[in-house]
Structure 1
């Protein structure tokens, strides 16, 4: 029986998932700048046996007609956040085993900066850090904030990202031998110079020559996460990712995407079952089904077309309210009116352009589908038995490995799931009786602290017999 891995998807902002509920009495998400709020959530997850707390992050914001929509500011829709990476050392100190995953893009800074930051976080958390690799988001807003005229095209960004990850792996794996750090006070030797190897990397996008100054951390390389169900995203995941977030559409389609990722991993020489696949999931659970449905109805009443439109525009560059509601998304491609279509959040476009012969939903139907859902994929409402039954059925149908809980009401939802659903999953043998411990990689993959032997990143590992660092 496959065990269920659990994470929680959050942003260090007013609202997760592009919906609006921060002003509900149950929600504490508007306290996103309050460190104690995050400590409280992390402790709940730590004790309940969740694998990690995941922070989405980015510099951008929703945009319509090149500017910030009034609803984005008023409603706090993907707007008003802080840097979550700065929370992590404190949260790690306040917890015992919970891992932390933070998003960092591949198109803004140099890989050296990312490598140094994550190596530091891995040290400070005792090996409980993961990197969610993204190639971009929020349309041109990020490009403009950083002084560029427009963002790089979708598939081109993945090509750059492959090289970005390769260089980061070269820093983590290719400079210090395992025992290069001596730190012997009596011998007055900090590092063995003969076991430090110069990095020489020259690629199409990035170059580097020199030494990585951060000693090897407990995991060396953070656990590599990636989200994206586009064909190019799945290829990237099969090459680099150890955990993949899949966009849930239908059971059969999700199963097909999982199977495709595993098949691509096999083609890369990797164990297909070594990649942990998860989907986002919003759960409204209460002791009784009636109470759960009442809470969900209160949440749904806070949503409207304007909220959906702002969210989707920020996520894909498409303003749904500017389109003909009776037609599907092909109207925008047919008109050639937006160069952004397909350049960001490809999976959130493809999900509404089916390729199996079924009719594509109209814009009106898309608005209705996303209302109350936002970027979340799967929605469950019920009592603990109903929720656990649904989770098991989804796992069995799709070959997924777990779920990324996307709270509607912040900490309250996390506590409800921890106290009501987790005990039921343990009773069924879907979660261990005692939470797993160790590094994040050990908890998520079931392997050791370092990259698996068949991970492509292992080619960058430096050994005494291979003193020349990898280059491309």
Structure 2
């Protein structure tokens, strides 16, 4: 069996603390510089030199205000708050790199497809085709209150119905509005764009009305690489129809494999090749020159972990105010419309193992996450074994401290993965789609539903 390189992305957020709370206090951590564009440029250069394929930036457009009934704990402990817009630093990072891709999280619930299509087309131009869109539907009630004036978020399955129409509008704009040769740049005639080759999309749907043409001329990829995260039934169906790279998460690798196989079956039913979708999962890695040195490093990092910070995030994800419960009592089932996949995993793990909140949230690798500690050889062995068991194609590598966590992976682990054929050589600059999937084209494959809009020609403007 041929060995395929893993997809290796660095997982972060434009905030102080993304997932491991309290570690911003570590003397070697620099995440408090997240508002400085030089922080992002330095990080991008480190990741590119170290052999990462992409930088995956999470986002949330609300405050985590379930724990204790308000956002006080989130603010005090820097739990994904404050947070800046992840799109705005991309062009600076792209200007300092040639190979690194960027997967940026943007919600379909609180944006408009006409405007977002312009933003991603712009970034695809400015990055030379190295941009991806992580499509989410959001889950925080605080976002709904502040953006659309609702006390509660839009129901789960309705958010996915909105998301499906949203991406279809975007696909029409990216793939169908401008013909490939619409831009002629004819200095002699004075014609820049042939108006007969630019078409309004005439979209009239349940949630969006977009009659006009796309504002931006075709970019290198036209459609950004389509990332998606979500493991509910609605999320898996959405991924099967639309996603190219699925961020699949579940603390149980066997369940993760079943979810991946389900998405592939659904994709085939939609007329897509299951091989046109890749799957990555989040991991935490502590590595050093030896197993013992890595364990010492992990123990030192764990001393800075903030249990209450983890409970703030769990409260937001589950819709349950965990400040009301002792951290040493077993997790019980609660009925909430918040992140269903997270709550299901918590409930299942609690019934199987009678784990407590402290067990689940505390320390490195919390929330049932995969934590790998050891030398490059040990961690590489573990990653290969996990990929085989779970059926994933790569890993979204979360940090404990920056730049240290990513620098260690670049220094110790990626050279070992390259020796095994599990990390890509640098090669020539290509689009993000080509870096992940190979091939000579930066465009979506023909069996993707968006490709159908390429042949759809509406009356000229």
The alignment's TM-score, normalised by the length of structure 1, stands at 0.92
1:309–1:367 Cα contact (<8 Å) kept = no
Give the alignment partner of residue 329 of structure 1, picking from 318, 332, 340. 332
Query: Where do 5+ consecutive residues of structure 2 fail to align?
Result: none
Could you say which residue in structure 1 is the equivalent of 2:347? 353
1:395 is aligned to 2:399: no
Aligned residues: 454
Cα displacement string for residues 27-53 of structure 1 (whole angstroms, at most 9, x for unaligned residues):
111111121121111111112221111
1:145 is aligned to 2:146: yes
Report the CA distance shift for 1:406/1:241 in structure 2 as closer, same or farther (over 3 A): same
Cα displacement string for residues 333-359 of structure 1 (whole angstroms, at most 9, x for unaligned residues):
3xxxxxxx1x3322211112339xx93
Report the CA distance shift for 1:375/1:226 in structure 2 as closer, same or farther (over 3 A): farther
- Quote how far apart the aligned CAs of 1:321 are: 3.1
Could you say which residue in structure 2 is the equivalent of 1:379? 371
Return the alpha-carbon distance in structure 1 between the equivalents of residues 190 and 18 of structure 2.
50
Could you say which residue in structure 2 is the equivalent of 1:221? 223
Could you say which residue in structure 1 is the equivalent of 2:398? 406
Give the alignment partner of residue 457 of structure 1, picking from 446, 450, 455. 450
Return the alpha-carbon distance in structure 2 between the equivalents of residues 148 and 233 of structure 1.
23
Cα displacement string for residues 417-447 of structure 1 (whole angstroms, at most 9, x for unaligned residues):
0110011011111123444630011111224
For structure 1, which segment, 343-352 or 111-120, has the greater mean C-alpha deviation from structure 2 after superposition? 343-352
Return the alpha-carbon distance in structure 2 between the equivalents of residues 386 and 327 of structure 1.
33
Could you say which residue in structure 2 is the equivalent of 1:233? 235
1:111–1:167 Cα contact (<8 Å) kept = yes
Could you say which residue in structure 1 is the equivalent of 2:115? 113
Could you say which residue in structure 2 is the equivalent of 1:368? 359
- Quote how far apart the aligned CAs of 1:112 are: 0.5
Return the alpha-carbon distance in structure 2 between the equivalents of residues 215 and 376 of structure 1.
44
Give the alignment partner of residue 167 of structure 1, picking from 169, 188, 191. 169
Return the alpha-carbon distance in structure 2 between the equivalents of residues 329 and 236 of structure 1.
30
2:25–2:304 Cα contact (<8 Å) kept = no
1:199–1:211 Cα contact (<8 Å) kept = yes
Cα displacement string for residues 52-84 of structure 1 (whole angstroms, at most 9, x for unaligned residues):
111111221211278534331221111112112
Aligned 1:286-297 pairs, distance under 5 A: 286-297=288-299
Aligned 1:8-23 pairs, distance under 5 A: 8-17=10-19, 19-23=21-25
- Quote how far apart the aligned CAs of 1:323 are: 4.1
Could you say which residue in structure 1 is the equivalent of 2:285? 283
1:282–1:376 Cα contact (<8 Å) kept = no
Return the alpha-carbon distance in structure 1 between the equivalents of residues 375 and 169 of structure 2.
47
2:16–2:31 Cα contact (<8 Å) kept = yes
Aligned 1:250-269 pairs, distance under 5 A: 250-269=252-271
Return the alpha-carbon distance in structure 1 between the equivalents of residues 65 and 352 of structure 2.
25
Could you say which residue in structure 1 is the equivalent of 2:135? 133
Cα displacement string for residues 103-141 of structure 1 (whole angstroms, at most 9, x for unaligned residues):
11011122101101101111111111000000013x211
Return the alpha-carbon distance in structure 2 between the equivalents of residues 65 and 21 of structure 1.
20
SS in 2 for 1:451: coil
Return the alpha-carbon distance in structure 2 between the equivalents of residues 468 and 382 of structure 1.
61
Report the CA distance shift for 1:198/1:69 in structure 2 as closer, same or farther (over 3 A): closer
1:177–1:462 Cα contact (<8 Å) kept = no
The alignment's TM-score, normalised by the length of structure 2, stands at 0.94
Cα displacement string for residues 3-47 of structure 1 (whole angstroms, at most 9, x for unaligned residues):
111001111110121522011012111111121121111111112
The alignment yields a C-alpha RMSD, in angstroms, of 2.0
Report the CA distance shift for 1:326/1:22 in structure 2 as closer, same or farther (over 3 A): closer
Query: Where do 5+ consecutive residues of structure 1 fail to align?
Result: 334-340
Report the CA distance shift for 1:9/1:220 in structure 2 as closer, same or farther (over 3 A): same
Could you say which residue in structure 2 is the equivalent of 1:437? 429
Return the alpha-carbon distance in structure 2 between the equivalents of residues 276 and 451 of structure 1.
14
2:330–2:356 Cα contact (<8 Å) kept = no
Report the CA distance shift for 1:304/1:55 in structure 2 as closer, same or farther (over 3 A): closer
Return the alpha-carbon distance in structure 2 between the equivalents of residues 244 and 277 of structure 1.
5
